[in-house]
Chains A and B, each alone.
Chain A
Amino acid sequence: MTAPSKPRSPVRRRVIQAAAASAALTTLGFPAIVRAQSKRLKVGVLLPRSGYQGFIGQSCQKGADLAPGVIKQMLGVDVELMNADTETNVDVARTRAERLIQEGANVLVGAFDSGQTVAIAQVAEQRGTPLVINIAAAPQITEQGYKFVFRNFQTARDIVGNGLRLTGDLFHATNTVPRTAVFMHVNDTFGTAVSRGIAAAMPHMTQLPFKIVDTISYDPAARDLTVEVSKAKASNADFLMLVCRLNDAIALRREMVKQRWNPMGIISPGSPGMYEEQYFKTLGKFSEYSISNVPWYNPRAELTHVVEKAFQKQNPGEKFPFHGLNVGFTFEAIMIAADAFKRAGSTDPKTLADAIRQTNIPRKMMLGAPIKFNAKGQVEGIGSACVQNLKGLPTVVLPADAATAKPVFPAPYYKA
């Protein structure tokens, strides 16, 4: 018979929790965890926190905000954020990047949007300051021979390839054979790049049963999408393939309802918009069944749990699935910079850039291969998931080994 143990004191409990957290982080494979650094890494974070991309920029910012705390625990590196709002404007992005460098940023991170990122990349290269791109898909960014620009995100080509493959998988999984699609896309840098990617990839995707009967491009800041939806509806396509942003996705879906256009479904081969919280909040039941084939976080990764915990602490009441993609890639971008800084032991831009080039982070948050940069500064093998809006949440339905629900296609509202 043993004596009843004393209740644990709060202090003791905290010590045990800290030890447990430390042990958990050790298993993530980061060497020499919790070794104090004498210097800080100043990270200039450029995001479109206002303007029509404001929602997504703010979502990315949440990933940046939690990064210093998590990275301090993981790597023992002090990260100081220098935040700048690009206002969804290429020129503002350029000037803010200049100013961050003048104010002492050691490395830049951003900027969600391809157009703005192209401008920032030019500044980073001219000024010799490393830029780690969180989200931006235009292929040309890493095709310019830049020495200081690194991207941990899929190129438009990869997004399209993965997105179309997942579209085929979706039809296979649901035993459906749509014959025609109408392709609508935003006409910004990203949308145009994805559009070109689809045009190049479709002839090689012989397993796909459909052909694109019409392509309609539109302005992401358009006031009114009546004409665009009228044209798409008139194509009589089986489903809508959509490359969108957030606000236009909402406007477009509304217009579909008004015009009583009910195709088999809406499938994005790789764009933001339809998995965002605002899409659900604004459209309610009309947000259901939209599908986005996008780079996504691995819900089973250990690092995801650490980041999710920090996210919930900083944003109580918010739902992580709505932010996981934006938070994950932004966090990883800052983590890449911090990891390089730790190995380099210096904020010298060239040394830092060389260290980033040598990055090898196998245990990561987002789906896909370890974070390793190729000669162009591009991470290869980043994975995508087929994410469907089900019961008010973006839900992974494919690939099967990461899925938490079965895909629904055609959507129940479909009228043949």
Chain B
Amino acid sequence: MPLELVVNVAISGVLTGLVYGLMALGLSVIFGVVRVVNFAHGEMMTIAMYAVVVLFAALGLDPLLLVIPIAAAFFGFGYVLQAGLINPFITRPEHSQFLLLVAIGLIMVNALLVIFGPDARNVQVDYQLESFAIGPILFDKVRVIAAGAALATSAALFAFFKLTLTGKAIRACADNHLGALVVGLNVKHLYALTFGVGAACVAVAGCMMVLLVDVTPVLGPSYTLLAFVIVIVGGLGSMPGALLGGVLIGMSESLAGLFIEPSAKSMFSFGLLILVLLFRPQGLMGRRA
């Protein structure tokens, strides 16, 4: 097998993995603080993708320009969702939280079906099918941009959680819920902020993803599952783990597709998941409970 082919596929796997990681980042942030697994995660990303499609069609704005306004809108949406609907479930059993978020996801899918129908939609920008070459290695321009967005978003999140007072307060809530209450932190507000930040991450991922795949209302559940696999592999609640998990899944799918059988490539991401669950149940970068 030509080395050039292997390198091309491996690079593509890393770039795709970073996009996956960006998508999973929001899930990891939310779980890390609020301790709720957002089972409507993929569906929220689908809504962000539709927002791009609609605004692109109406205003002709490039999806890259839409990243900030859509992320801001999703921050507000996430805040309201957590403050209004999820906060009352924080102290309830996990199966109640699970059912609530699955129900939210189902409502989202069906609302999208009602509004947009089942047709696949997309945006078409000039650079969408472009690639550039460095020697024999081809780089997909959109994947490079999306990977860059993933790294930039991760850096911004790290800075927010490490350097700002609000970020530190959120981390305090995550570390010690009771202690945070005792020192007078408004925990419910901080949870809502966290969900907003997670939703904004999902929105950024949606803005990038719409350049790579067509969007349909039923796209969400498969991405929820993928994000879930990634954060389990990387470690639930770990932001670097989400990126690492994304890259590992992207790479394993690509290389398994190349060396073994393309149609069975998603099998390997689940194989990786089982291995991690067996030998490091807290995930590669997760903390043992």
Chain A: residues with CB nearer than 8 A to chain B? 49-52, 54-55, 58, 187, 216-219, 221-224, 226-228, 230-231, 234, 247, 250-251, 254, 257-260, 278, 282, 284, 286
Which segment, of B122-130, B180-188, B195-203, B240-248, faces chain A?
Answer: B122-130
A244 vs chain B, min Cβ distance (A): 13
Question: What CA separation (Å) do A231 and B254 show in the bound complex?
Answer: 11
Would you mind naming 18 contact pairs between A and B with Cβ atoms under 8 Å apart? A51-B118, A52-B120, A54-B118, A54-B119, A54-B216, A187-B263, A217-B261, A217-B263, A223-B222, A230-B12, A231-B5, A250-B214, A258-B130, A258-B131, A258-B138, A260-B138, A278-B119, A278-B120
CA distance A58 to B122 in the complex (A): 19
| B130 x A52 contact (CB < 8 A) | no
Contact yes or no, A257 B129, CB < 8 A: yes
* Cβ–Cβ < 8 Å partners of A222 in chain B: 265-266
> Does B147 reach chain A (CB closer than 8 Å)?
no
Q: Are B8 and A55 in contact (CB under 8 A)?
A: no
Q: Determine if A230 and B119 form an interchain contact, defined as CB atoms under 8 angstroms apart.
A: no
Contacts of A282 in B (CB 8 A): 122, 124, 214
Q: List, in ascending order, chain A residues with CB within 8 A of B257's CB.
A: 227-228, 231
Besides A50-B217, A227-B12, A227-B254, 19 new A-B residue pairs in contact (Cβ under 8 A), listed by A number = A50-B218, A52-B218, A54-B119, A55-B119, A55-B120, A58-B118, A217-B263, A218-B262, A219-B263, A219-B266, A226-B12, A226-B140, A227-B9, A227-B265, A230-B9, A231-B5, A258-B131, A284-B124, A286-B129
Complex CA distance for A244 and B100, rounded to whole angstroms: 38
* In contact, A258 and B254 (Cβ under 8 angstroms): no
**Judging by beta carbons under 8 Å apart, are B262 and A231 in contact?**
yes
The distance from the CB of A255 to the nearest CB of chain B, in whole angstroms, is 9
Task: Give the distance in Å from the alpha carbon of A28 to the alpha carbon of B212 in the complex.
Answer: 50
Q: How far is the CA of A185 from the CA of B129 in the complex (A)?
A: 23
Contact between B118 and A260, CB atoms less than 8 A apart: no
Chain B residues with CB under 8 Å of A52's CB are 120, 216, 218
Given contacts A254-B129, A259-B131, contact A218 B263 (CB under 8 A): yes
Bitwise interface map of B from 101 to 128 toward A, beta carbon under 8 Å scored 1, else 0:
0000000000001000111101010001
B residues in contact with A259, CB < 8 Å: 131, 138
Q: How far is it, in angstroms, between the C-alpha of A223 and the C-alpha of B129 when the chains are bound? A: 16
Q: In the complex, what residues of B have CB within 8 A of residue A230's CB?
A: 5, 8-9, 12, 258
CA distance A250 to B212 in the complex (A): 12
Rounded to whole angstroms, the CA-CA distance of A281 and B12 in the bound complex is 27
Chain A min CB distance to B25 (Å): 18
- Please give the distance in Å from B182's CB to the nearest CB on chain A: 46
Instruction: Report chain A residues within 8 Å CB of B159.
Output: none
B202-255 residues at the A interface, CB under 8 angstroms: 212-214, 216-218, 222, 253-254
Please measure, in the bound complex, the distance between the C-alpha atom of A51 and the C-alpha atom of B113, giving whole angstroms.
Answer: 10
Interface size class of B (residues with CB under 8 A): 35 or more
Structural contact, A258 and B129, CB atoms closer than 8 A: yes
Interface residues of B (CB under 8 A from A): 1-2, 5, 8-9, 12, 16, 113, 117-120, 122, 124, 128-131, 138, 140, 212-214, 216-218, 222, 253-254, 257-258, 261-263, 265-266
Q: Nearest residue in B to A227 (C-beta to C-beta)? A: B257
Q: How far, in Å, is A134 (CB) from chain B's closest CB?
A: 19
Which A residues lie within 8 Å of B122 (CB)? 282
Chain B residues whose CB sits within 8 angstroms of the CB of A250 once the complex forms? 214
- Inter-subunit contact B118/A228 (CB<8 Å): no
Residues of A within 8 A of B253 (CB): 224, 227
Min Cβ gap B109→A in Å is 10
> Once bound together, how far apart are the Cα atoms of A52 and B131, in whole Å?
27
CB distance from A61 to the nearest CB of B (A): 11
Q: In the complex, what residue of chain B is closest to A48 when comparing beta carbons?
A: B118
Q: Which interface residue of A216, A221, A224 has the most chain B CB atoms within 10 A? A: A224
* Distance (whole angstroms) from the CB of B138 to the closest CB of chain A: 6
CB distance from B272 to the nearest CB of A (A): 16
In the assembled complex, the Cα of A257 lies from the Cα of B263 at a distance in Å of: 21
**Chain A residue with minimal CB distance to B266?**
A219
Residues on the A chain within 8 Å of B128, using CB: 254
- Report the minimal beta-carbon distance from A271 to chain B, rounded to whole angstroms: 16
Task: Give Cα A122 to B129, complex, Å.
Answer: 44
Scoring B113, B216, B222 by chain A CB atoms within 10 A of each residue's CB, the highest score goes to B216
Q: Please indicate the chain B residues that have their CB under 8 angstroms from the CB of A216 in the complex.
A: 262
Q: Verify A226–B16 contact, CB threshold 8 A.
A: yes
Residues from chain B with a CB closer than 8 A to the CB of A278 are 119-120
- Complex: A36 Cα to B128 Cα, angstroms: 57
How distant is the Cα of A216 from the Cα of B264 in the complex, in angstroms? 11
Residues of B within 8 A of A219 (CB): 263, 266
Q: Is the CB of B214 within 8 A of A247?
A: yes
Contact A226:B254 (CB < 8 A) given known A254-B129, A257-B129, A259-B131: yes
CB distance from B251 to the nearest CB of A (A): 11
Distance between Cα atoms of A178 and B113 in the complex (Å): 45
